[in-house]
Amino acid sequence: MSNSNTVFKTTPNGKLKGSLRVPGDKSMSHRSIMLGSLATGTTQVTGFLTGEDCIATMNAFRAMGVNIEGHENKQVTIHGVGMNGLSAPTEDLDMGNSGTAMRLMTGLLAGQNFESTLIGDKSLSTRPMNRITKPLAMMGAKIDTEEGGRPPLKIKGIQGESKLKGIHYDMPIASAQVKSAVLLAGLYAEGETSVTEPGITRDHSERMLRGFGYDVTTTGENGSHISLQGGGKLTACNIDVPADISSAAFFMVGASIAEGSDLTLEHVGINPTRTGVIDILKLMGADITLSNEKEVGGEPVADIRIRSAQLKGINIPEALVPLAIDEFPVIFVAAACATGKTVLTGAEELRVKESDRIQVMADGLNACGIDAQATPDGIIIQSGQLTAGEVDSHGDHRIAMAFSIAGLRAKGEIIINDCANVDTSFPDFIKLASAVGLGVS
């Protein structure tokens, strides 16, 4: 992350036309490096997200002795070292801005026979890690945190012949990061490790583990009980990472709210644990059609066509919250441009993302003339005319991109401060967005 203030400025009245393939899925790109590194054999990844966060994950595994080649042309070759082949890093492992990387890596590193320390940037250093250190401690992991369970995380690893113990964990929050951290530690644990999730969360870890030949069992209502046995091995495979639906979401909203738009987003991952944004936008009246649906490497993908439509305000169903958890900043922009009122509840998780996404979005929308009221677990947005304004993204990539999209319907220029972190998830955002008609520089 750069220390200088990267500022985005929008130009009003654009419309989005043509077709676009947004960068690769962030969740899958992180996981491909982690599992590929621990596999036996060589894993080829295509469509890899070359954003700063995934490169940080790659560098962390390089620092533990894994030979990882490339990321030119979004292709990565990982020469796996096997389950017990990592070596102790000589420096702290810097996970940049990524909560996913830090939480999943903690699970994996808890089972290694060496000590490691995970650090992150200013935003990551404020995020709660006790949600993973608590279940990992129940498995026998020894992890020191700063006060309040914040990073850095000092992971002691296991000593001599001792091992982590498999547990069952009833997850108090619907979080794919918590689920994944426990299951990844479970690879190194004695016996069975299982979790029950209180709501459906993204299942990329389970799918990718199976792709690497590891048995993962899913049972219970909506597949909410997930279990695996420790002590198995991962076998290298090829991974085709689809375009990230979380990055595509900006353009789904943009094309919906900008009159005269007709945009196709190509080869987007439409895993049903991620498609809450499509469901929410459709409930609001969006014109979204899917074509070319196929399955690629265990993950469903499709082309998504969006034509502009008059959206209406809705009460967002709480069951869709975990399925659209990263897309709310731009969904709030859709709500500002809809007719009537949109109400979100049951989304307190948004307060502990890269920024407090409820407060930061409410403040930004207010600065652009919209009546948006933050509530403890959500927001109430009364639609209106977006005006010119100056907003602060608080270094949150998704806030910066959400206000870039808002510019399509604003009466004047929106100035967005602190945008450097857009590179963590969407390299070349300005270039790709400009190519389909977004006025942002």
**In the structure encoding, which two tokens stand for residue 433, read together?**
């967005």
Nearest residue (CB) to ligand S3P, 16 versus 330: 330
Amino acid at 18: G
Write down the least CB distance from residue 15 to ligand S3P, Å.
29
Write down the least CB distance from residue 415 to ligand S3P, Å.
26
The alpha helices in 195-295, defined as continuous H runs, are 204-211, 245-257, 276-283
Ranked by CB distance to ligand S3P, the top (closest) residue is 27
Sheet holding 262-269, edge to edge: 17-20, 262-269, 299-307, 287-296
**In the structure encoding, which two tokens stand for residue 95, read together?**
């996970």
Write down the least CB distance from residue 36 to ligand S3P, Å.
16
Nearest to 163 by CA among 94, 104, 111, 87: 111
What secondary structure, in 3-state letters, does 287-349 show? EEEEEEEEEECCEEEEEEEEECCCCECCECCHHHCHHHCCCHHHHHHHHHHCECEEEECCCHH
Write down the least CB distance from residue 120 to ligand S3P, Å.
14
Give the DSSP H or E segment for 180: helix 176-186
**Which residues of the shown chain bind ligand S3P in the complex (CB under 6 A)?**
27, 100, 175-177, 180, 201-202, 325-326, 349
Nearest residue (CB) to ligand S3P, 124 versus 367: 124
Asked if residue 289 lies in contact with residue 265, where contact means CB atoms within 8 angstroms, the answer is no
Nearest residue (CB) to ligand S3P, 182 versus 311: 182
List the beta bridge partners of residue 81.
Answer: 40
Nearest residue (CB) to ligand S3P, 52 versus 303: 52
The residues near 55 (Cβ < 8 Å, ≥ 6 apart) are 71
Write down the least CB distance from residue 204 to ligand S3P, Å.
6
Write down the least CB distance from residue 77 to ligand S3P, Å.
22
Amino acid at 195: V
Asked if residue 268 lies in contact with residue 304, where contact means CB atoms within 8 angstroms, the answer is yes
363 tagged catalytic: no
Phi, psi of 304 (to 5 degrees): -120, 120
- SS3 call for 70: coil
Q: Rounded distance, CA 180 to CA 359, Å?
A: 28
Phi, psi of 266 (to 5 degrees): -95, 145
Nearest residue (CB) to ligand S3P, 181 versus 405: 181
Nearest residue (CB) to ligand S3P, 250 versus 313: 250
The residues near 91 (Cβ < 8 Å, ≥ 6 apart) are 63
List the beta bridge partners of residue 344.
Answer: 379
Catalytic residue among 53, 303, 326, 423: 326
Q: Which residues are catalytic?
A: 326
